[in-house]
Structure 1
Amino acid sequence: MIALDHIAIWSGNLYRTTIELSRLTGIGSADGGYFPGLGLGQKIISLGGGVYLEIESIVDHRMILERDPVALELERQTDSGDCFAGLCLRSDELTEIEAFAAHRGVEVSAEIAGGKALMVPGQKRGRAAHAPDFLNSWLKGKPNIYYVEGLENHSSILPPQPGTGDVVGLGVTSIELGGSEASLRSWLGELDPAELGLDIRYNGLADGLYAVGFDSTAGPQEIRLPPITLPAARSRAAQTLLSETS
């Protein structure tokens, strides 16, 4: 059964964005570590119910100098500000991930494209089977799915760092997506978006995530950001990125 797992936000400055979101929501943040092979660092803000915000920015700028495609895409996407980069689902049934991968015509992967396991001292998190590769989902404004067997080592339960916020997220209640319900169902195949248990609103604009609503100890809240830029507005270089990571 599928569930919402996390929402990726791309930022030009990991700390600025995290501080602003914590001030906006009152929810504290945790250190999410970094992807050595991607040059990306991340902070975590839990929205409750096993769902978290994954705020990412470039922390190893050698990746830019070396023309790494993921770092270059993040830099390009955040040129005009923060954006919702990815809507990430999870399932505790590997057969469900395999069926979804077959529907999308891809293989289930245990590796993050261009990267290695997330490195955080003292935390027991590692690779997770997923499909499709995150870039080939996010750059289409569509969700990918991870195999998550349980929440014992899940990023959503990382304790916030002291002083970063006292409000507690109580669970995501709604998301606003571009496109239509039909286009999402076509992408997911046999997987049913109704299983997410969310109020899903479709605004008919370009695919991607536009807003997330959630309950908290401070009351109902909503975060709204522009979605990731889609292929119709991308350069030839970004189109090449999709084919390279297929």
Structure 2
Amino acid sequence: MISLDHIAVWSDNLYRTTIDLSRATGLGSADGGYFPGLGLGQKLLSLGDYVYIEVESIVDHRMIAERAPMALELERQSANGDCFAGLCLRSDNLDEIAEFARHRGIAPAENIAGGKVRMVPAQGSAPSVHAPDFWNSWRLGKPNIYYVPDLTNHSSLLPVQPGTGDVRGTGVISIEIGGTEPDLRAWLGDVVKPAELGIEIVYNGGPDGLYAVTFDSTDGPRTIRLNPITL
């Protein structure tokens, strides 16, 4: 089964963006750890119902100094402010990942460079098998799909750090994306229909990418609106 899993936000300052989002929504945040091979650090905000936002920025300055491709891309994308970088779906079935990869004409990516190191190792999940990789999906403003076989330790369940926010997300209501429904259907192929994702999808006809996410919470509906990724 395929459903929405997480949304990536790229920032030039991990802490500023997380604090801004927490203040705007009331949501608390958790430490998501970092990716040594990419130089990325993460903070997580749960939207409820096993969906979360991951705020990412470069925390390893060597990646910037060495002009690593990921660091360069994140620097470019966040030059004009925070942006929605990735719309990430999940499946608990490797056959669905393989089917989607075949549809996209690529092989599933087997890992994330350097893996992931967490502040609390026993918590959270780090899906590795996915298709396509971010370079061939996020940078096009399109969703990719991760293999998440078990939600028991899902990253959305990480306990929030005290004092970061008291509002609890209770589930995504809708997202606004660029393009049209036929565009998204063509991208996803037969692996899943947009209507089967269980959320309302608003198509604004603009360039591809995510523009807004609306979720319900213990303090009522909230909408987060940011720039889409620059194609």
Do they superpose with TM above 0.5?
A: yes
Matches within 5 A, 1:176-215: 176-190=176-190, 191-215=192-216
CA drift of 1:123 comes to 2.2
8 Å CA contact retained: 2:108, 2:131: yes
Alignment partner of 1:90 is 2:68: no
8 Å CA contact retained: 2:32, 2:119: no
Alignment partner of 1:109 is 2:109: yes
CA drift of 1:68 comes to 0.3
TM-score (norm 1): 0.91
CA drift of 1:121 comes to 3.9
8 Å CA contact retained: 1:118, 1:127: no
CA drift of 1:80 comes to 1.0
Query: Which residue identity lines up with residue 23 of structure 1 in the other structure?
Result: R
8 Å CA contact retained: 2:127, 2:146: no
Q: Secondary structure at the match of 2:136?
A: helix
8 Å CA contact retained: 2:11, 2:17: yes
Query: Which residue identity lines up with residue 174 of structure 1 in the other structure?
Result: S
- Count of equivalent residues: 228
Alignment partner of 1:69 is 2:69: yes
Matches within 5 A, 1:210-221: 210-221=211-222
1:237 corresponds in structure 2 to none
Identity across matched positions, percent: 68
Matches within 5 A, 1:1-246: 1-112=1-112, 115-124=113-122, 125-190=125-190, 191-230=192-231
The root-mean-square deviation of aligned C-alpha atoms, in Å, is 0.9
Q: Could you report, residue by residue, the CA deviation over 1:129-151 in whole angstroms, capped at 9, with x for unpaired residues? A: 10001121001000000010111
Q: Secondary structure at the match of 1:101?
A: helix
Q: Secondary structure at the match of 2:137?
A: helix
Q: Could you report, residue by residue, the CA deviation over 1:178-232 in whole angstroms, capped at 9, with x for unpaired residues? A: 00100100000002111211110000000000000000001011000010001xx
Q: Distance in 1 between matches of 2:61 and 2:145?
A: 29
CA drift of 1:127 comes to 4.5
